[in-house]
Amino acid sequence: MRTPVSARTLVILAATAYRLALASPAAAGEANAEYRELIGRYARGDRVLAVAGLARLSDGELARVVAAGEAAALAAQRRQVEPAFSLRAAVMLHADVDQAERPAPMGREQARRGPGRHAAVAARYARLLAWRPETKDFARRFFVALAHGSQWDACFPDAQRWAGEGLKLFPRDAELLLAAGSALEESATLLLGVSVSDRQGLFERAGAMFTDGLAADPELNLARVRLGRVLWQLGEFDRARGPLEQAVEVRSGDPAVLYLAHLFLGRVHEDSGRLELALRHYRLSLALEPQAQTAAIALSHALRQTGEAGESREVLRRALAAAGRRGRDPYWDYLASNAAGVHDELAALRRESLS
């Protein structure tokens, strides 16, 4: 059963109809028909031409056709009938135009320009999908993908904003909470010129998101690892042990996440003066990723502190010998690891937009 249209929605419909009446009816009708045809093209798989056609619209034209499209979709919802065009295709068409209009960063370490006007339109259509039982998961996953894409491009405020927009529609959703917390954690870790108190505030907010995410889904082991690291960053070593010790007990999970859990737990023990326990977890971490540079250096450093200079040198020698031949150390990608699958997420949504 579809959600009935509220009084506020009716007001929006009336205002939209009034704005459209001010324009030339013939011109408005022609523009609306062309817009729906572009959405139809996209849904049929003719995506390149659809994206190119929509990208030609001016801001004013875009505002008019989107207002008409929203009004038509809301009217269809009120009558409990299917809209005249695919809302899924409209979401992904606007999302793809937004991607096309955002140039790549000039350097590898530079943030990409954040989502623009078409991303905002895509989100507006996704909100309509969120109220329909058969399409609400599409909408939820779209907001997750928006948050992941922004984080992957180092647009951290945008990542937090899109995750927050999704949480308004899907409160307590574990994946959105993880996305919001991860963007906060990464920004607190990487941003320069941030005061100590501001950085602490970001870590505290991230920790709250991870805690809520685990309450919603106790199987979310990456949130457990991230919570432990955030608490360590805040200097709360005793509290950090809890989630990390729970994380290392999850034997059936992602090996990369387990590697990180042992690595971070080893650091917590090392900073707390428990070097024997630190050595144990560094060894376990390195056993999971034998060519991982981070675990090898951590183990070598801890061994040196315990007086095991010979073994410390041997561990470091093996790590150096593997330089240039090793795979990706999971620690290198840790901060954005939750967002690494964003391109696959968007590809899946595009496939589902086909009609």
74-95: average pLDDT: 94
Evaluate whether 38 touches 65 at the Cβ level (below 8 Å).
no
Residue 277 or residue 324, greater confidence:
277
Q: How confident is the model at residue 251 (pLDDT cuts 50, 70, 90)?
A: confident
Q: What is the DSSP string of 322-354?
A: TTTT----TTTTGGGGGGTTHHHHHHHHHHHT-
User: Where are the alpha helices (H) located in the chain, listed in sequence order?
Assistant: 7-22, 25-43, 47-55, 59-79, 87-100, 117-129, 136-152, 156-169, 174-190, 196-216, 221-233, 237-248, 255-271, 275-288, 293-305, 309-321, 342-352
Q: Other C-beta atoms within 10 Å of 305: how many? A: 13
Tens digit of pLDDT for each residue in 144-164? 999 999 999 999 999 999 999
- Quote the CA–CA distance of 54 and 67 in Å, as a whole number: 15
Q: Give the pLDDT of residue 355.
A: 85
| Type of residue at 125 | Y
In the chain, where the domains are located: 6-18+29-101, 249-336
Tens digit of pLDDT for each residue in 24-68? 445 567 779 999 999 999 999 999 999 999 999 999 999 999 999
Tens digit of pLDDT for each residue in 288-303? 999 899 999 999 999 9
Is 4 a residue whose pLDDT tops 70? no
- Quote the CA–CA distance of 141 and 129 in Å, as a whole number: 11
* CATH architecture of the domain covering 249-336: Alpha Horseshoe (1.25)
Is 113 a residue whose pLDDT tops 70? no
**Structure tokens belonging to residue 161:** 């904003």
- Quote the CA–CA distance of 218 and 201 in Å, as a whole number: 25
1-16: average pLDDT: 40
Residue 4 C-alpha from the chain's centroid: 31
Evaluate whether 69 touches 14 at the Cβ level (below 8 Å).
no
Is 22 a residue whose pLDDT tops 50? no
**Structure tokens belonging to residue 250:** 């999850």
Contacts of 129 (CB under 8 A, 6+ apart): 87, 88, 91, 135, 136, 138, 139, 142
Residue 303 or residue 251, greater confidence:
303
Burial (CB < 10 A; 0-12, 13-18, 19+), residue 140, is: buried
Burial (CB < 10 A; 0-12, 13-18, 19+), residue 192, is: exposed
11-15: average pLDDT: 39
Chain mean pLDDT for the chain: 89
